[in-house]
Amino acid sequence: MAKSILITGGAGFIGHQVVNEIITSSDWNIYLIDRLSYAGDLNRVNEVIEESNNESRKRIQFIYHDLKAPLSKHVLKQIESVNIVLHIGASSHVNRSIQDPAVFVQDNIVGTFNILEASKKLENLELFYYFSTDEVFGPSDNEFKFKEWDRYNSKNPYSATKAGGEELTIAYNNTYSIPSLISHCCNVYGIRQNSEKFIPNTIKKILNREKVIVHTDMNDEPGSRYYIYNNDLSKSVIYLINNYQTIKNIAYTEQKKSPPKINISGESHISNLEIVQLIGSFLNKEFNYILENNDPQRPGHDIKYGLDLSLIKKIGGHYDTEFQVGLKKTVDWFTNNQHWLN
């Protein structure tokens, strides 16, 4: 009998690509929970279905629900057969978290609590997977990279609420024996990303001949990130789910803690200014940019992050498209699908 997976935030940028990976690599049934905020768009899922096989539509069931509220008996009845809960749904924009932190506490902490409470009631649950971020560790430098259980050092409300969700997942694993997995991820890019994010926003601004803002440190050194292509990330996520028991054993041997935590990242470390220059060259357009080292809208801006990848490389599941290749595909796609930049 085919497994069933519940994906929160399934109409989001990361969630919809995981749906695509499941459709193409398994026979799983998929339940999507999403409140369809500005970041959630069912057109993502619809395009994935149309590009693969319309028959896959029969395997997908959408549930409209805002996780700030507990799951009702009706919703719990719909998902009672679920084996895997993949909790991706979250508010994730740093600027928005600084402007309105209460929303992020509700979405990322209360929302995680409510989906954990629902998971306690799933008799067939095999795994609760909490999708977290490298931002919980705070800034790094070019040399140092954080291991999975290093201390938190949240620099903004977004990262703090994601760390809070991690701790809730750990507590429910230890208190209620919910089989759990936590992963940290670097910056993700790819097609159908919301246009508020740096790469599609830069594409949009260059196409519209607007100035691009590049954040820097106090010495005007541009911020930099590790990036992973969304297709690669979705492959890693499904690999980790399929190999959870092996990962659990290896991770416990190395980490001596439960549940297992895994870092996921690409190995392309690139500055924001280099990205702007690459996008300009791919579009074959001139562009203007300004260096901003004291953005009043983003006092919690971290210049660099870094994750240690030794564990995921040891257990398998590390995928990494060369950055310029993935970025070129992304720029070409947005150029041909500019309605996604609105």
Task: List, for residues 103-160, the tens digit of each pLDDT value.
Answer: 999 999 999 999 999 999 999 999 999 999 999 999 876 678 999 999 999 999 999 9
* Pair type for strands 224-229 and 268-271: antiparallel
Region of poorest pLDDT, from 14-23, 213-222, 251-260, 292-301: 292-301
The pLDDT score that the predictor gives to residue 300 is 45
Q: Does the structure show a pLDDT above 60 at 298?
A: no
How far, in Å, CA of 166 to CA of 131, rounded?
Answer: 9
| Number of Cβ within a 10 Å radius of residue 138 | 19
How far, in Å, CA of 40 to CA of 10, rounded?
Answer: 8
Helix (H, G, I), strand (E, B) or coil at 75: helix
- Mean local confidence (pLDDT), 281-286: 94
Handedness of CA 8, 11, 17, 21 (dihedral sign): positive
What are the structural domains of the chain? 4-193+227-267+305-320 (3.40.50.720)
As a whole number, the mean pLDDT across the chain is 91
Q: Does the structure show a pLDDT above 60 at 58?
A: yes
Q: Is 176 a catalytic residue?
A: no
The pLDDT score that the predictor gives to residue 49 is 92
Strand partners, 225: 270
| pTM of the entire predicted model | 0.92
Place 10 in a pLDDT band, splitting at 50, 70 and 90: very high
Q: Write out the two tokens for 230.
A: 């969304």
Place 290 in a pLDDT band, splitting at 50, 70 and 90: confident
The H or E element spanning position 61 is: strand 60-64
Give the chain's length. Answer: 342
Place 267 in a pLDDT band, splitting at 50, 70 and 90: very high
Q: Where are the beta strands (DSSP E) in 124-264?
A: 127-133, 180-185, 187-189, 212-215, 224-229, 261-264
Catalytic site residue from 31, 129, 130, 158 = 158
